[in-house]
Amino acid sequence: MSKIDLVKAVTELEEDLVIAGVKEQTAEGVSAIEILGQLQAGMEGVGKLYEAGDYYLSELIMSAEVFSNAAALLGSALDEGGASKSVGTVILGTVKDDIHDIGKNIVSTILSCNGFKVVDIGVDAPIETFVDAVKTHNPDVVGMFCLLTTAFDVMKETVAAVKASGSKATVLVGGGPVDQNVAQWCSADGYCKNAYDAVEMSKKASGAN
């Protein structure tokens, strides 16, 4: 049995221990899906510490990197084990006239860590790009970001266009100046304060909860 507590190592951001633990368990014949489950449980631990204010943005970014590097070691074994089946599809983008991407990138990584297929349409994304992506990928969730208050109007227009497209996707909004009031004003279905809100709401929207 592994001597390394993988869940604890991920939660405490001990990348060397995490990598060693994954290699150790792989050598012992532990299935890739089981190892991935431990990595995801560790990420949940990070999320709780972030929610409690014990971890900050830098730890969140680091945890995503630790997870990605560890999951990369499992590689093709995950596909063989069927873990490649996604929980749901999420389209993410920063709305037109805003080029900020750090929040979007963190949410993208954390959603991927939790089994979602993420379609990232980038920053400064025109309304048509969101609508085309929705028609192409038929997502469970559309996530929109902005860090500039001047982009609120275009965010509202983008929400309206996605809903007018006939999509049944849940539309979530987030970003520095965005709050519940802005979400309601935009007619979005939900407001995400952080990446873990996005995960919980996306799970609910895709029926994964």
Q: Which residue has the higher pLDDT, 201 or 46?
A: 201
- 79-90 average pLDDT score: 69
The reported pLDDT for the residue numbered 114 is 79
What DSSP string runs through 61-92? Answer: HHHHHHHHHHHHHHHHHHHHTTTTS-S-EEEE
Confidence of residue 115 (pLDDT cuts 50, 70, 90): confident
**Segments of the chain assigned to CATH 1.10.1240.10:** 6-80
Architecture of the CATH domain 6-80: Orthogonal Bundle (1.10)
CATH topology of domain 89-205: Rossmann fold (3.40.50)
Q: Which residue has the higher pLDDT, 84 or 122?
A: 122
> For the chain, what percent of residues have pLDDT higher than 90?
56
pTM: 0.72
The reported pLDDT for the residue numbered 78 is 62
How far apart, in whole angstroms, are the C-alpha atoms of residue 112 and residue 108? 6
Question: How many other CB atoms are found less than 10 A from the CB of residue 3?
Answer: 7
How far apart, in whole angstroms, are the C-alpha atoms of residue 15 and residue 102? 22
**Segments of the chain assigned to CATH 3.40.50.280:** 89-205
Helical (H) or strand (E) element with 145: strand 141-145
- 191-203 average pLDDT score: 89
